[in-house]
Structures are given as structure tokens and as C-alpha cells.
Amino acid sequence: MKHATRRTVGLALTAFTGLCAFVIVAVLALILADILEGGAAGVTWTFLTQPPSDGMMGGGIFPAIFGTAALTLLMTVAVMPVGVLTAVYLHEYAPPDSLFARWVRVAVVNLAGVPSIVFGLFGLGFFILFVGRGMDRVFGHEEMYWAQPGILWASLTLAVLTLPVVIVSTEEALRAVPLDHRTASLALGATQSQTLARVVLPGALPGILTGAVLAISRGAGEVAPILFTGAAYFLPELPTHLNSQFMHLGYHTYVMATQSPDVEATRPLLYATVLVLLLLTFALNLVAVIIRTRTRRKAAGAH
Amino acid sequence: MEARELTLRYGTKAAIQKVSLAILDRRVTALIGPSGCGKSTFLRSLNRMNDLIPGTNHTGTILLDDTDIHDRSVDVVDLRRRVGMVFQKSNPFPKSIFENVAYGLRVGGMKDKAALAQRVEKSLRGAALWDEVKDRLHDSALGLSGGQQQRLCIARALAVEPQVLLMDEPASALDPIATAKIEELIHELKSTYTIAIVTHNMQQAARVSDRTAFFYMGELVECGPTEQIFTNPREKRTEDYVTGKFG
């Protein structure tokens, strides 16, 4: 190939790949610009603190913000112990050639690939119809109490969905704890569980927290798993019990976009809601990034 | 402490073959030999750190106070408190200086604050580090220099008051001044502790040890008073090694 041809091919490839990369940035910029332009004016104090009114053509989104927060909190409380303990078993206790551990890992990977609507149906079938009905029978509720959609079942469904995120990031965090620290601890006469509690888990904590934040930011944005398990179409009251239904930012967005009697009147509210949801997710991701950077800096300081 | 006919295998490959070696009380025994000769493996088997490597198995016995350390009645946790270890690369925990030294005591169940503080000071003095760190006991141990970190690891091992102290090339990552301090420290420690030290540095072995054991290809070639090993070895291989003909 001649020099000139090679140069042309090189330049063309640079330009083409660069263009593809630019498209990604452009799409994100377009979305953000559009939402900011349409939503910034709508995000007012009243909007953030009032329930929706006038058939969702007025008022605010406070119940949805509250519902999303409560749901996510419950989910975190449910998913963190199970996820962290699973990862601890897989990485610390399971024998290296354990068949069981390999099955669990395969299950985790597959769980991460299940479409979220399937989790929604699973939540309905397992938590509400199976566990909920069973509990009603055991506790002697004449009317449906647990066997109906509620914030507990929705948060548990989300917990199952986010479990792989927590397990994978916790295992990574455990792997990152230097072997030196473990051997030092054991050589000083610490037992394996003391080493785990005093050296390994503290060392892995930043990574585990990053996993928590990633799970939260994933869980907070999901709508499909909560469709059948607890999210309410319109409910100005805040959830007070574990079996209360609740409003949710993501579901509220969907409802406003598809069910409004007057699209034009709803549009500014829709924009503002989406903006709030995005800001929330970005904020959570930002927290994850900050924690991760700190961990890296700490790890770098250790050598 | 004494090994009798100790053979240790990784899987089927023998790392050490029928090694019989006594680590005499309150003496410094240096283990020398070329890389891969089994001296570190031997050292690590003395407090059963090799147990942590999957696939290792052994034959022969290691006696501590006339008890086989592999006996069912011996708890490996207790063994490691009696036979402490300092590693090649200093490995302080990412905790404060105080907490590093107190670690072995805390996992051993010591809770009394005054007793802990007293033992931490004693150990740091024992490791000749006290004067350098007494005003910053609660700062991170990771802020110490490499030599200080290694002396901190020695203090941490001393805190649980072991009978025997195993050192695996404790100065190989340090500069000459820090190395001199460690060697000086070993001299002081041998009045109280039984010490076994693995080293690649022949001068170091000659300087710090009372007895020297030469390992080659997984076998103990020769063991005797350090002076004899370096000036008048019985074996040709020992002579070749200590005079630098190979290794």
C-alpha cells in the first residue's frame, strides 16, 4: 500500500470511530438538554412537597418521591445482608473447588440477565400469592392483608433484582483485600472469623458500600418489578404500613405519559418528574464514584 | 523447637525432604540457601502457615516443648501465638500504630485498656520503635517508613509474647540503615526469644546468627555453629555456596 493510501485509511478510520463515539455523547447531551429545558422551570418547592392534584394535571410529586425513597430504603435493608453474606460465603468459606459455589455463581450471573418484568411477575406469584397468602392463613386474617400488593413485597422483589449487583461487587471487594493482611492476622493467632470481622470486612467496606449505592441507583429506577407488587397509580396518602401501596417516580412518569386526559397540561409536570428522577439517580451514582475514588486513594496509600 | 524427618509436599512435588533440624532455645538460627531450596517452606511449616496453601501435606514431626505441633490436641491458633512470624514484606494493617500492635492481644481476648497500653508500649520498646512513634500512636501505621513498618510488624509479633519468632527475610526490602537496625534488634531479642531467620544475605547470616543451616534442593545439607559453616564447612556444597561459587 502506498504511503498516501495508508494515511487516508488511517484518517478515515479515526474519523469514523470518532464519529461513533460522538453519537453517544450527542444522544446523552440531547436527552439532558431536552429534559433540563422542559423540566427545570417545573421543579419548584411546591412541586417537590405537594401531592398531585386535578387528575394529575397539577400539584406535585411528593408521594412519589417519598414512596421511591421508602421503597429503596427497604430494598437496601433486605438486599445488603443477604448479598454480603452470600459473597462472604463464596469468597471466604466455600472450598475453592466447591460445586455448590459454582452453581451459586452461575445462578447469580443468570439472575442478572433476567428481564425486570419477569421479576415483577415472580414477585406477584411468589411473594404476594404464595408467601402473602400463607401469612394471612397463619396469622388468621379474614380479609386479604399480606396477600395484596404492598411496599414490602415490592421492595423484596427489587432486592432479588439487585442481589447480583451486591454479590458481585462484594466479592470483588473481598478479593481486593491484600492476602498479606489475612496472613498477618492468622499468624498473630487470629481465627478465620476474627480475621474476617476485624481485617477483611473493614478492608472491603468501601467496595461493599459502592455495591450498595449501585444497587440503590439500579433499584430506584426500575418500574417493571413493582408494577404488580405494590406501586399505586394515584395515591396522595403516604404509605404507613408494610402492606401499603405507594407512589413511585418511575411509575408516575409512565402513568402521566400514557394515562393523562390532557397531554399538553401534563407535559411540564412530566418533564419535571423525569428531571427529579434523573437527578436522584445521578446523585446516587456520584456517591458511588466518590466512594470508589476514595477507596482507590486509600489502597494506593497502602503501598 | 525441632523438626524430625520433615517432608512437605505441594501436591506430589516435595518442597522439603526429610529435614531434621533443631532450632535451639534463645539462639538465632539462620536458614540459608539458593532460591527455591525450601528454607521459607521449612520456616512456614514451623507455625503451620503452610496449612493455608491448599494441597500441602507432610510427613515427619515438628516438636515444640516435646509436643507434636500437628497433634490433634494442638490448636493451630494457640500454636501461632507461641510461634510468631514476621514476613518478608512488611504488612501492617491499615489501622493505627497502636491498633496494629494491640491486634494479637485483642483477638486473644485482652480487653483491659491499661494492660493493652502497657503491653503495646513494651512491645514497641522491644522492637526499638517506641521513641520514634510514641507521640503518634494513633496515626495510621501506613504513614511509617518501610523500616519502621517492618519494626512495627516485629512489635506486633512480640506483643503476644511468643516463645519462638520466625523471620522470613525480614530485611530484604529495606535500605542498609533500616537493615542494620533490624539486625541490631535481632541481637537484643535473642536473650528472650528463640529466633529462626531466613535470609539471602550471607553477611547478614554471619552477623546475626549463632547457628546456620544450609538448604539445597529441598534438603538440609548441613547445620552447625555459624562460624564453622562459614569458615570450615564439612560439605563441599556448603563451601561453594557460602563462598559465592553458586547461588
Query: In this predicted model, what pLDDT tens digit does every residue of A7-39 receive, in sequence order?
Result: 999 999 999 999 999 999 999 999 999 999 999
pLDDT of residue A303: 44
Question: A84 is in which domain, residue-wise?
Answer: 44-301
Same structural domain, A99 and A212: yes
pLDDT at A292 over 80: no
Residues A121 and A248 in one domain: yes
| Contacts for A86 with CB less than 8 Å, ≥ 6 apart | A104, A108, A163, A167, A170
CA dist B170 to A61, B97, B183, Å?
A: 64, 19, 9
The set of cell numbers assigned to A179 is: 492476602
Judged by CB atoms closer than 8 Å, whether chains meet at B104 and A186 is answered as no
Domain count, chain A: 2
Residue A120: what pLDDT? 94
Cα–Cα distance, B50 to A187 (Å, whole number): 11
Would you place residue A264 in the very low, low, confident or very high pLDDT band (cuts 50, 70, 90)? confident
A84 and A218 assigned to the same domain:
yes
Residue among B177, B2, B181, B52 at smallest CA distance from A186: B52
Q: CA of B139 to nearest chain A CA: how many angstroms apart?
A: 14
Backbone angles phi, psi at A53, to 5 degrees: -145, 175
Question: How far apart, in whole angstroms, are the C-alpha atoms of residue A208 and residue B184?
Answer: 43
Are B107 and A189 in contact (CB < 8 Å)? yes
Which residue do the cell numbers 481476648 mark?
B109
pLDDT band at A259 (very low <50, low <70, confident <90, very high): confident
Three-state DSSP class for residue A8: helix
B80 touches chain A (CB under 8 A): yes
Smallest CA-to-CA distance from A302 within A221, A181, A191, A212 is with: A181
DSSP secondary structure letters along A110-148:
HHHHS-HHHHHHHIIIIIIIIIIHHHHHHHT-SS-SSSS
Task: Give the pLDDT of residue A1.
Answer: 66
pLDDT over 70, % of chain A: 97
Q: CA of B142 to nearest chain A CA: how many angstroms apart? A: 6
Question: Quick one: how far is CA B165 from the chain centroid?
Answer: 5
Residue B190 maps to a domain: yes
Contact A189 B54 (CB under 8 A): no
Give residue for cell 519502621.
B148
Task: Note whether residue B18 is domain-resident.
Answer: yes
Q: Which long-range contacts (CB under 8 A, 24 or more apart) does A100-104 make?
A: none
For A188, the closest chain B residue by CA position comes to B104
The closest alpha carbon to B242, from B197, B201, B196, belongs to B201
Regarding predicted confidence, which is higher, A130 or A57?
Answer: A130
Quickly count: other Cβ atoms within 10 Å of residue A267's Cβ.
Answer: 17
- Write the pLDDT tens digit of every residue in A214-237: 898 889 889 999 999 999 888 888
Q: In terms of residue numbers, what domain contains B182?
A: 2-242
CATH number, domain containing residue B113: 3.40.50.300
Residue of A nearest to B105 (CA): A188
Mutual orientation of helices A249-259 and A62-88 as an angle, nearest 10°?
A: 130
pLDDT for res A298: 65
Q: Chain B contact for A79, CB < 8 A?
A: no
Residue numbers in B near A301 (CB within 8 A): 142
Contact A71, A151 (CB under 8 A): yes
Distance from CA of A203 to the nearest CA of B (A): 8
The answer as to whether B247 is a domain residue is: no
Count of structural domains, chain B: 1
ipTM: 0.91
Task: Show the beta-strand stretches assigned E in B144-237.
Answer: 164-168, 194-198, 211-216, 219-225
Do residue A11 and residue A94 come from a single domain? no
Strands B219-225 and B67-68: unpaired
B183 located within any domain:
yes
SS3 A221: helix
Residue A178 clears pLDDT 70, i.e. is over it: yes
Rounded CA separation B144/A116 (Å): 50
Say if the Cβ atoms of A188 and B81 lie within 8 Å.
yes
The minimum CA-CA distance between A67 and chain B, rounded to whole Å, is 40
B8, B42, B96, B216 from B19: Cα distances, Å: 9, 8, 40, 11
Chain A contact probe: residue of B93, B123, B139, B163 with most A CBs at under 10 A: B93
Q: Is the pLDDT of residue A240 over 70?
A: yes
The shortest CB-CB distance from A189 to any of B54, B80, B87 is to B80
What mean pLDDT is predicted for residues A100-121? 94
**Residue A27 sits in the same domain as residue A157:** no
Contact flag B93-A185 (C-beta cutoff 8 Å): yes
Which of A186, A189, A199 minimises the CB distance to B108?
A189
The tens-digit pLDDT sequence of chain B (247 residues) is 999 999 999 988 899 999 999 999 999 999 999 998 999 999 999 999 999 888 899 999 999 999 999 999 999 999 999 999 999 999 999 999 999 999 999 999 999 999 999 999 999 999 989 999 999 999 999 999 999 999 999 999 999 999 999 999 999 888 899 899 899 999 999 999 999 999 999 999 999 999 999 999 999 999 999 999 999 999 999 999 998 887 6
Test B104 with A189 for CB contact under 8 angstroms.
yes
Q: How confident is the model at residue A169 (pLDDT cuts 50, 70, 90)?
A: very high
Count of Cβ atoms closer than 10 Å to residue B150 Cβ: 31
| A50 and A185, same domain (yes or no) | yes
Please count the CA atoms within 13 angstroms of the CA of B64 that sit on its side-chain side. 23
Q: What is the length of chain A?
A: 303
The alpha carbon of residue A186 is apart from the nearest alpha carbon of chain B, in Å, by 8
Taking CB atoms and an 8 Å limit, are A189 and B103 in contact across chains? no
